[in-house]
């Protein structure tokens, strides 16, 4: 199986070397790693280019875009830019530049894909540093494949029609994979260091975008409230709950474009309710 990895990178000079060192140290090196320098103003491009000179399987491209922090859309647009430069692949990955992989990461995941023809998505788990210890980044269930370490089988990626350009893209892709009959799997022993915790740079506007994403995934208002409550509880922020609901209602009255079809939305709602009832 040929593995192609795309790393969207905007001002990642502080983390990129550590990230790429962990790729170079893999027991099974990907066939290509495409770094897309998304309008960086620091040394991101110079660092990436230096690694590309030493390792022919690392490639660098530049993309011009806005400096505005647009969660979801900006990273997906940058990923899609890199996707246009990808070679033939069986597994396609969207990885962040602020992670450090364990040495056996791709070897272990490749084994999972080769042994299970129904597997559509697979990843390890993200850990963040608290004081002197690395602990699980507890903002999602350990069964959820997180945005910074996404790896898809091509058949699954094509079936879900790629990534949605907006907040929630890294949730709707998992749900659509399951809708189309693919399995998703996380490997607990593959502990990935996440150097910059999720939520860095988020604003009130960004939290409202979370609510908009719930509407676009066709969550009912009750499911949206439960999801907002869970996020607010994990973030210890009542304000997040209110902003998320405000975003949902804003999207409802604006009739924003949905991420999924009615049939897919019906599956998502049933799947979410099954998950809630199973925990009660």
Would you list the DSSP string of 201-244?
Answer: T--HHHHHHHHHHHHHTT--HHHHHHHHHHHHHHHT-HHHHHHH
CB 186 within 8 A of CB 143: yes
Q: What is the pLDDT of residue 28?
A: 98
The end-to-end CA distance of the chain, in Å, is: 41
Per-position b or e across 186-210, b if 16+ CB within 10 A of its CB: bbeebbbbbbbeebeebeeebbbbb
CA distances from 133 to 49, 63, 130 (A): 33, 36, 5
Task: Show the tokens assigned to 163.
Answer: 């990534």
107, 190, 204 from 83: Cα distances, Å? 22, 25, 31
The 8-class DSSP code of residue 137 comes to -
Instruction: Per residue of the chain (280 residues), give pLDDT as tens.
Output: 999 999 999 999 999 999 999 999 999 999 999 999 999 999 999 999 999 999 999 999 999 887 776 778 999 999 999 999 999 999 999 999 999 999 999 999 999 999 999 999 999 999 999 989 999 998 888 999 999 999 999 999 999 999 999 999 999 999 999 999 999 999 999 999 999 987 644 455 677 888 999 999 999 999 999 999 988 887 788 888 999 999 999 999 999 999 999 999 999 999 999 988 887 7
Q: Hey, which residues does 185 pair with through a beta bridge? A: 122
Compute the C-alpha angle 127/130/136, nearest 5°. 25
Strands (E), 26-103: 32-38, 58-63, 91-95, 99-100
- What is the per-residue pLDDT for 201? 47
What span, in angstroms and rounded, lies between the C-alpha atoms of 136 and 158? Answer: 31
| DSSP state for residue 109 in the 8-state scheme | H
Predicted model pTM: 0.91
Taking a C-beta distance cutoff of 8 angstroms, is the pair 173, 144 a contact?
no
At residue 202, φ and ψ (nearest 5 deg) are -70, 145
Cβ neighbors of 165 (< 8 A, separation 6 or more) are: 72, 73, 76, 77, 80
Contact 190, 102 (CB under 8 A): yes
CATH class in words for 3-194 = alpha beta
**Cβ atoms 137, 126 nearer than 8 A:** yes
pLDDT at 200: 47
252 Cβ partners below 8 Å, 6+ apart?
215
């Amino acid at each position: 199986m040929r593995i192609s990895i795309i790393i969207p990178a905007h001002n990642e000079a502080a983390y990129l070397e550590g990230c790429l060192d962990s790729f170079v140290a893999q027991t099974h090196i990907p066939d290509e790693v495409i770094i897309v320098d998304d309008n960086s103003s620091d040394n991101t491009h110079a660092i990436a280019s230096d690694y590309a000179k030493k390792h022919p399987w690392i490639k660098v491209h530049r993309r011009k875009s806005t400096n505005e922090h647009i969660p979801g859309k900006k990273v997906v647009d940058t990923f899609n830019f890199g996707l246009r430069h990808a070679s033939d692949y069986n597994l396609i990955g969207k990885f962040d530049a602020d992670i450090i992989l364990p040495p056996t990461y791709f070897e272990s995941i490749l084994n999972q894909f080769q042994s299970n023809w129904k597997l559509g998505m697979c990843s390890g788990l993200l850990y963040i540093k608290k004081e002197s210890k690395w602990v699980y980044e507890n903002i999602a269930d350990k069964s959820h494949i997180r945005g910074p370490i996404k790896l898809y089988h091509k058949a699954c990626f094509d079936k879900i029609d790629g990534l949605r350009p907006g907040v929630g893209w890294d949730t709707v892709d998992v749900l659509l994979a399951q809708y189309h009959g693919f399995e998703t799997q996380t490997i607990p022993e593959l502990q990935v260091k996440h150097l910059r915790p999720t939520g860095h740079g988020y604003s009130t506007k960004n939290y409202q975008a979370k609510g908009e994403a719930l509407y676009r995934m066709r969550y009912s208002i009750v499911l949206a409230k439960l999801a907002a409550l869970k996020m607010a509880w994990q973030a210890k922020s009542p304000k997040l709950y209110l902003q998320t609901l405000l975003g949902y209602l804003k999207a409802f009255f604006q009739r924003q474009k949905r991420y999924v079809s009615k049939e897919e939305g019906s599956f998502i709602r049933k799947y979410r309710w099954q998950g809630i009832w199973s925990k009660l």
